[in-house]
Amino acid sequence: MKNASELKDIVIVGGGSAGWMSAMILADTLAAKGVTITVLESPTVGVIGVGEGSTPALKRFFDSLNIAESEWMPQCNATFKSGITFDGWSTKPGFGKYFHQFSTMVDKLTQPVFISNVHARLQGVDVDARPDDYFLSRLLVENKLAPLAGESFPFTATYGYHFDAALLGKFLHKKALERGVRYRVCHVTRATQDADGNIAAVHTSDGEAVAADLFIDCSGFSALLIDKTLKTPFVSYSDVLFNDAAVALPTPLEGPIAPQTVSTAMKYGWAWQIPLTNRYGNGYVYSTRYCDADQAETELRHKLGQLDGSTPARHLKMKIGRVAQHWNKNCVAVGLSQGFLEPLEATALYLTQMTVAIFALFLDKGDFSEPARHAYNQEVNGFFDGHRDYIVAHFKTSSRADTAYWRDNASELDGMSDSLKGIFGTWLQAKDLSAELVRQDLERYYPVGSWYALMAGMGVFPAARMASAQEASGHAEQRAQMREFLRRCALNFRDHKLVLQEMVGR
Ligand SMILES: Cc1cc2nc3c(=O)[nH]c(=O)nc-3n(C[C@H](O)[C@H](O)[C@H](O)COP(=O)(O)OP(=O)(O)OC[C@H]3O[C@@H](n4cnc5c(N)ncnc54)[C@H](O)[C@@H]3O)c2cc1C
């Protein structure tokens, strides 16, 4: 098939979040074009069932499909997310914790002050250059406020969500069926190819062959079509991202709910804590090169005070990297089948969404030629590699050295991309990081405020000399004004838990 106009049938193998997100976006793109979309799901292989945090892009997904927060959030025990606190990643005095903010319109006023102070600090002047004091999102978290601005406040905030992954999958499943997507429970055992190598049909354990023009591989880490059938090469990121396993454990949630994920550095990795409306989701992402599953579970249980073992933990393996071609022949891989980055910035659903949304643009253009596939793959690879570099930067800037895990993370610079080396070089020479991000066209992956928050939050600064009395007093005054301004802005936001409770039954 060289042309999208020949497209009549799409089969999606897999009914996890990736399968249903793909179904929703494609159904929306192809509405009224008479294309049949069918999701096949195994009765015996479950969904991965973790993945409880998002970036602000998930709001765009729901908005584009006209699904209101008041509809989906209560059904998925969802909460709002204004950013991530990184705890214990840096050992530098004064930098034990920092907040990676989701942006607000107020940042237009406060971010330049932050960046100017960062540059003063890079020049060695002892001024406050921690991101936490400069962003409204941080204040929303501190005061446990929902990031929904009151009507009279002219500045809006971007935000992501936390949600129960299994419930989100069920919700998307239900919505996709309402929009005409078909669903069949069957276990795919193999696929057959035509003379050109395209997938002709997938075969089920009931002996049935299901043919289609286009196949979307959403079969999770098993990657039934993109790997097992088409043997697409896999580009591992394990040289720079060591973590390949996780252990997850829920804990009870009581009291007010801060709209944030907390990521705490551990001995051999890091632990997430995510608030839902009814519980915390917790997990420890670690490297099996340095620690085994029992050690990881014990360390997590100690952290959570869950030593009696009454709540069982779930252990998961992760394959870190991406396929070389996400669109190969007549197959597009989406979700865990196409690749995965450890969930430090909760980017998996975002990459899933982008993979399908970019494919939808190619569908619109109607070009299914080899050059079109190549251009698509370059684009999606750019997203994976760009996000990888931002995650790698956390490990390279961490000053922890308490275990071989952290020491090796900091020392193995060989795998670092030229792009990331360019960013680090710019920072260490105290040059303009914004200009470097623009030069490398990297802002499409992470905005400049995120890079400054990461580098400054970790305390990547030269030793500071004392500020002069004049600098110090000017700075203290500016800081007090900033704090007061943000405090007043925060008055326009309401209690997070209350807002969530009001959504139920609306
Ligand atoms: C530890 C961890 C933490 C994570 N945290 C986050 C996070 O915070 N934020 C985020 O965005 N993402 C996160 N993720 C990723 C997220 O869980 C996944 O991206 C998301 O759930 C999509 O998974 P999937 O649909 O690709 O695969 P799965 O959920 O594994 O679904 C695979 C589907 O394929 C079907 N299938 C498999 N084999 C067959 C077969 N032979 N025949 C028919 N059907 C078959 C299964 O039945 C299932 O329906 C995390 C992942 C891990 C491992």
Same domain, 34 and 169: yes
46 found inside a domain: yes
Same domain, 179 and 208: yes
Same domain, 221 and 334: yes
Q: Check pocket membership of 316 for ligand 1, CB cut-off 6 A.
A: yes
Same domain, 232 and 357: yes
Q: Which pLDDT belongs to residue 465? A: 73
Task: Please tell me the distance between residue 262's alpha carbon and the centre of ligand 1 in angstroms.
Answer: 22
- Residue with CA closest to ligand 1 atom 41: 188
Give the position, in ligand 1's atom list, of the atom nearest the Cα of 50.
Answer: 17
Same domain, 218 and 324: yes
Task: Please tell me the distance between residue 220's alpha carbon and the centre of ligand 1 in angstroms.
Answer: 5
The dihedral of CA 399, 404, 409, 412: what is its sign?
Answer: positive
What tokens does 479 get?
């800081």
Ranges assigned E (strand) in 23-170: 36-41, 79-81, 83-87, 97-101, 160-162
490 found inside a domain: no
Give the position, in ligand 1's atom list, of the atom nearest the Cα of 187.
Answer: 42
Q: Check pocket membership of 224 for ligand 1, CB cut-off 6 A.
A: yes
Same domain, 178 and 231: yes
Task: Please tell me the distance between residue 335's alpha carbon and the centre of ligand 1 in angstroms.
Answer: 7
Give the position, in ligand 1's atom list, of the atom nearest the Cα of 246.
Answer: 1
Task: Please tell me the distance between residue 317's alpha carbon and the centre of ligand 1 in angstroms.
Answer: 12
Give the position, in ligand 1's atom list, of the atom nearest the Cα of 352.
Answer: 19
Same domain, 299 and 250: yes
Buried-exposed string 16-30: b where 16+ CB fall within 10 A, e elsewhere = bbbbbbbbbbbbebb
Q: Which pLDDT belongs to residue 505? A: 67
Please report, as a single letter, which amino acid is at residue 503: M
Domain boundary pick from 286, 317, 348: 317
418 found inside a domain: no
Same domain, 257 and 280: yes
Task: Please tell me the distance between residue 228's alpha carbon and the centre of ligand 1 in angstroms.
Answer: 17
Task: Please tell me the distance between residue 280's alpha carbon and the centre of ligand 1 in angstroms.
Answer: 20
- Residue with CA closest to ligand 1 atom 17: 51
Same domain, 325 and 206: yes
Q: At what angle do helices 418-428 and 370-397 cross, to 10 degrees?
A: 40
498 found inside a domain: no
Q: Best substitution site from 17, 52, 163 to test ligand 1's pocket, by max atoms within 8 Å of Cβ?
A: 17
User: 53: which strand partners?
Assistant: 162
376 found inside a domain: no
DSSP state of 131: G
Same domain, 327 and 311: no
DSSP H/E element including 51: none
254 found inside a domain: yes
Task: Please tell me the distance between residue 173's alpha carbon and the centre of ligand 1 in angstroms.
Answer: 14
Q: Check pocket membership of 338 for ligand 1, CB cut-off 6 A.
A: no
What tokens does 118 get?
């960062």
Q: Check pocket membership of 277 for ligand 1, CB cut-off 6 A.
A: no
Same domain, 249 and 310: yes
CA separation for the pair 404, 20 (Å, rounded): 41
- Contact call for residues 53 and 280 (beta carbons, < 8 A): no
- Residue with CA closest to ligand 1 atom 7: 51
Give mean pLDDT in consecutive 10-residue pieces for the chain, a chain of 506 residues. 80 98 96 92 95 96 97 98 98 96 97 93 90 96 97 95 97 97 98 97 98 98 98 96 97 96 98 97 98 98 93 96 98 98 97 97 91 97 97 96 94 82 94 96 95 97 78 80 94 97 84
Q: Check pocket membership of 296 for ligand 1, CB cut-off 6 A.
A: no
Please identify every residue annotated as catalytic: 81
Q: Check pocket membership of 335 for ligand 1, CB cut-off 6 A.
A: yes
Q: Check pocket membership of 318 for ligand 1, CB cut-off 6 A.
A: yes
Same domain, 173 and 220: yes
> What three-state secondary structure class fits 180?
coil
Give me the domain span that covers residue 253: 245-317
Q: Check pocket membership of 190 for ligand 1, CB cut-off 6 A.
A: no
Q: Check pocket membership of 246 for ligand 1, CB cut-off 6 A.
A: yes
Task: Please tell me the distance between residue 283's alpha carbon and the centre of ligand 1 in angstroms.
Answer: 16
Give the position, in ligand 1's atom list, of the atom nearest the Cα of 52.
Answer: 8
Q: Check pocket membership of 57 for ligand 1, CB cut-off 6 A.
A: no
Q: Find, among 345, 321, 317, 318, the residue nearest to 333 by Cα.
A: 321
127 found inside a domain: no
Total domain count, the chain: 2
Burial of 440 (0-12, 13-18, 19+ CB in 10 A): middle
Q: Give the domain CATH number at 31.
A: 3.50.50.60
Q: Check pocket membership of 136 for ligand 1, CB cut-off 6 A.
A: no
Q: Best substitution site from 24, 45, 272 to test ligand 1's pocket, by max atoms within 8 Å of Cβ?
A: 45
108 found inside a domain: no
Q: Check pocket membership of 19 for ligand 1, CB cut-off 6 A.
A: yes
- Contact call for residues 386 and 451 (beta carbons, < 8 A): no
CA separation for the pair 265, 280 (Å, rounded): 18
**Edge-to-edge strands of the sheet including 339-340?**
234-236, 321-323, 339-340
